[in-house]
Structure 1
Amino acid sequence: MSDLTIRSAERADAALILRFVQELAVYEEAADEVVATEATVEESLFGDAASAFAFICEDAGEPVGFAVCFYNYSTWLARNGLYLEDLYVTPDARGRGAGKALLKYLARLAVEQGCGRFEWSVLNWNTPAIEFYEAAGARPQSEWTTYRLTGDALVAFAGS
């Protein structure tokens, strides 16, 4: 039986969060894209200008997963939404309810904060995650396509 708890991440968790991010990137076949360091994780999540926040899921005191999220805004609802940037559970802890516990925790947070939406993205090929999210009652938003400017393209466009 699992003894799951979820707590707000603290500055001292920066190395753990970075490890989880790196493990997630390996799973998503994008390990070479992670440029975060322990220092940048610490500053971006716990510094004075931090706009994102994280939670750690523990099973009997052992960290087994994390979630990082931030508030976005819906002009149509005129309310904040909660956006889940990453949710990750270590492979050996999957199937014990950690992912569901994190998702439910964040859903409750969204409700408590008066958010009009709780959203996230999932890679098209990540069937286990898609099935997990759909089992929770989430539905894909097929009418929207995500666009991204990053790296050199972002710098070039900003300078034009």
Structure 2
Amino acid sequence: MDIIIRKATEKDSHKIWVLMKELAVFEKYIDSFAITPEVVKNSGFRKSPPDFHCIVAEDNDKIVGILVYYFLPYTAQNKPAIYMKELYVDENYRGRKIGERLMNALWDEALVHNCEQIKWTVAPWNKAGQKFYERLGANQNNEWLNYEWNL
């Protein structure tokens, strides 16, 4: 098996959506999941600038992992940052360092764009995810609390 890590293209839209939907099930928000393959195509590939970017892990023609991110162009450090919105690997492909390879590709993307930081959140119940990120050398930020203002 030769997994290829690459930037997603518009033709990947439906396959990306499938994994986004699997993530919504895994993270228990499938009841409010409103993304469609058309939303992925239009928001990620047809808008300029796009609402998000995506790196995929591909096994032959099958997308087996996704990392969705966007740029935060203005920060206090006067350098951009990257916000990782989603990282998901098909459960049949876990344990093969695909998540790590996707994260390393994001790291490279941050360097290319002169970013100061990569940020993300992880659910408190997702202990495996927390261990994964800590193993990569990420630090939990306890200085800030997340707030939402739902409309």
TM-score by length of 2: 0.93
Offset of residue 60 of structure 1? 4.5
User: What corresponds to 1:96 in structure 2?
Assistant: 96
Give the AA of the match of 2:45: F
User: What corresponds to 2:75 in structure 1?
Assistant: 75
In structure 2, distance between residues paired with 1:52 and 1:109? 13
Offset of residue 74 of structure 1? 4.8
In structure 2, distance between residues paired with 1:29 and 1:144? 24
**Contiguous gaps of at least 5 residues in structure 1:** 155-160
Check conservation: 2:3, 2:57, Cα contact below 8 A: yes
Matched residue SS, 2:53? strand
Give the AA of the match of 2:4: T
Matched residue SS, 2:132? helix
TM-score by length of 1: 0.88
Q: Which has the larger displacement, 40-49 or 85-94?
A: 40-49
CA RMSD after TM alignment: 1.3
Q: In the TM superposition, what are the counterparts of 1:36-115 in structure 2 within 5 Å?
A: 36-49=35-48, 50-115=50-115
Asked if 1:33 is matched to 2:17, the reply is no
CA offset digits 1:13-62 (Å, max 9, x no partner): 11111110110011111111111111111111012231311111013453
* Percent of residue pairs bearing the same amino acid type: 31
- Number of residue equivalences: 150
In structure 1, distance between residues paired with 2:64 and 2:11? 16
In structure 1, distance between residues paired with 2:94 and 2:75? 37
The structure with the larger Rg is 1
